Structure 1
Amino acid sequence: LAGQLKDLYSQRQQVLAQVDALVEAHPLHLVLTSMPGIGVRTAARILTEVVGKDFKTAGHLASYAGIAPTTRRSGTSIRGEYANRGGNKRVKSSLFNSAFAALHHHPSRAYYEKKRGEGKTHKQAVIALARRRLDTLYAMLRDGTYYQDPETIRSGTG
């Protein structure tokens, strides 16, 4: 049993090395990993699930990922919005985890704290942060540009 576990572990390491090599060979790899909170694994997930699909707007991508709110309606009655339970669960999970990891980065943390100050729960604030980051990510992928820190842009040093 121990030998089988060692073999599985070494096979897993080989597969991960191959995934890393494939991701690093992709032209959008540096664009994706330039954003804080997105590493090789998250970039791999985004490349396999999102890149190549034609999303007209960031809202379409957010809906596909399942982080856009859904309107509750029946006939002419509209009863507000609620969290979308659909969407691509793998992309949604990756975006949520990268937003959580980005809380150590100042602009993301400031946005999270702003949402908490508005009375949002932790999960609601992280989902709002994930949506905001997805909008930025959409523009980065569309234009092929690297992430730029908003504070650097405002100060004019970037």
Structure 2
Amino acid sequence: MPSENTLHIAIELSLSSWLVAARLSGAERPRLHRLEGGNTAALLTLITELRLAAVNRVGGPVGVACCFEAGRDGFWLHRVLTAHDVASYVLEPTSILVNRRARRAKTDRLDAEGMLRVLAAWLGGDRQVCSMVRVPTADEEDAKRPHREREHLVQERLRIENRLEALLFTQGIRGRPSLRSWERDVAELRTGDGRTLPPLLRAELDRLRRRLVLALQLIPEVEAERATALAAATSDTMTRKITALQRIRGIGENFAAVLGREVFYRTFDNRRQLASYVGIAPMPYQSGGMDRDRGISRAGNPRARTTLVQLAWLWLRYQPGSALAGWFRQRVGTLAGRTRRIAIVAMARKLLISLWRFVETGVLPEGVEIRTAALPTA
């Protein structure tokens, strides 16, 4: 959208109120309006009024460009604005350049005015001033929920298990009772000084046990729901990519779902864009005679990045004859520790690019073993 005769609108979102800043191209100062948080009807009415005032001022057609930062509100507001023919842009907050002074003033007004300047510069052609979020469709966003919910459930399971063991450790007991024979095992437990477990501690342990059992029951339920949804959409392009990934030995249902739904649902022009999105692209540092890489950016999708590093370790086990595994062995040799951890991240980047080419073109990575049936391994 050209910046000439364009009404720029920035919305600073919060729970209780929205601060709307609007400025017509060429105007010196923005106009500020505060609305009740979540009141989209008032927002659309305000945008209509601002557009009409801008049309009367310039005596011709005026475009409207609206922006807000990605955050806890998600993308529903973007869809509301788009449905009402308002060009909407979602800013990546961490990509916006800020003043580097040690202390900066922070108010909703300053944030809204700053977003206005960023939006005007970005629409004017300066693509380095910030990054815009690629908003997923409602179906793409909903398809991510099963593997994300499973991840939260697994984390909850680990937290409860660690809490159980920590409580028992304070009493001199190493290891936790079996869930299958909980009552009997707890009754037989003795503290390090020979006492039975205190009654309030036993009550807390029992509540933790029930939470753990519930989490263990919900994990397969979510996995079954994900498998059912995948089987029901066999003609979908994304489903075909996930199924193709599961054919590779070492990539199970969860890894395939995370890579497919978090990464490969998008379109990338080149491998640098792909690596940057996941956050495993090397960051250059050049100053005077110094020219080196400072490691990976860690600015992309953290869920996909973690999955790729885990998959890279498993790749050495399940695909030892592949070219990537051979590259790792040749690069690392018998070294261990930090060198090995750095090399596995480099291998994860190579693996990501190879899998991207596979799902897009069907070209298998060199030396990869394929299985006839997709069996979950991870």
The two structures share one fold, judged by TM-score above 0.5: yes
Following the alignment from structure 2 to structure 1, what is the Cα–Cα distance between the partners of residues 357 and 340? Answer: 26
TM-score by length of 2: 0.36
Question: Would the aligned equivalents of 1:69 and 1:82 in 2 still touch at CA under 8 Å?
Answer: yes
1:17–1:86: structure 2 CA closer, same or farther, 3 Å change rule?
same
Number of corresponding residues:
150
1:37-48 equivalences in 2 (<5 Å): 37-48=250-261
Question: Would the aligned equivalents of 1:30 and 1:146 in 2 still touch at CA under 8 Å?
Answer: no
Matched, 1:132 2:331: no
Structure 1 residue aligned with 2:98: none
1:48-59 equivalences in 2 (<5 Å): 48-59=261-272
Deviation digits for residues 54-76 of structure 1 (CA, Å, limit 9, x no counterpart) = 210122111111111011246x7
Percent of paired sites with the same residue:
25
1:116–1:3: structure 2 CA closer, same or farther, 3 Å change rule?
closer
Structure 2 residue aligned with 1:147: 364
1:98–1:13: structure 2 CA closer, same or farther, 3 Å change rule?
same
Q: Residue 112 of structure 1: which of 328, 333, 344 is its match?
A: 328
Deviation digits for residues 91-136 of structure 1 (CA, Å, limit 9, x no counterpart) = 111111111001022224312111114x781112211211111111
Q: Which runs of 5+ in 1 are unaligned?
A: 153-158
Structure 2 residue aligned with 1:8: 215
Question: Would the aligned equivalents of 2:332 and 2:340 in 1 still touch at CA under 8 Å?
Answer: yes
Question: Would the aligned equivalents of 1:23 and 1:40 in 2 still touch at CA under 8 Å?
Answer: no
Q: Which contiguous aligned blocks of 4+ residues in structure 1 show a shift greater than 6 angstroms?
A: none
Following the alignment from structure 1 to structure 2, what is the Cα–Cα distance between the partners of residues 71 and 112? Answer: 23
Following the alignment from structure 1 to structure 2, what is the Cα–Cα distance between the partners of residues 77 and 46? Answer: 39
1:56–1:77: structure 2 CA closer, same or farther, 3 Å change rule?
farther
Question: Would the aligned equivalents of 1:66 and 1:86 in 2 still touch at CA under 8 Å?
Answer: yes
Following the alignment from structure 1 to structure 2, what is the Cα–Cα distance between the partners of residues 127 and 4? Answer: 35
Question: Would the aligned equivalents of 1:35 and 1:146 in 2 still touch at CA under 8 Å?
Answer: no
Following the alignment from structure 2 to structure 1, what is the Cα–Cα distance between the partners of residues 363 and 309? Answer: 21
Following the alignment from structure 1 to structure 2, what is the Cα–Cα distance between the partners of residues 146 and 41? Answer: 22
Q: Which runs of 5+ in 2 are unaligned?
A: 1-206, 234-238, 370-378
1:74-89 equivalences in 2 (<5 Å): 79-84=291-296, 85-89=298-302
1:34–1:78: structure 2 CA closer, same or farther, 3 Å change rule?
farther
Q: Residue 63 of structure 1: which of 264, 276, 281 is its match?
A: 276
1:4–1:92: structure 2 CA closer, same or farther, 3 Å change rule?
closer
Matched, 1:27 2:240: yes
- 1 or 2, which has the higher strand percentage? 2
Deviation digits for residues 1-49 of structure 1 (CA, Å, limit 9, x no counterpart) = 2444333322222112112333454121222123333211111111221
1:141–1:78: structure 2 CA closer, same or farther, 3 Å change rule?
farther
Following the alignment from structure 2 to structure 1, what is the Cα–Cα distance between the partners of residues 212 and 289? Answer: 57
1:115–1:94: structure 2 CA closer, same or farther, 3 Å change rule?
same
- 1 or 2, which has the higher helix percentage? 1
RMSD, aligned α-carbons: 2.7
Matched, 1:94 2:307: yes
Flag the structure with more relative contact order, 1 or 2, with Cα contacts below 8 A and sequence separation at least 6.
1
Q: Structure 1 stretch 107-116 or stretch 54-63: which is displaced more?
A: 107-116
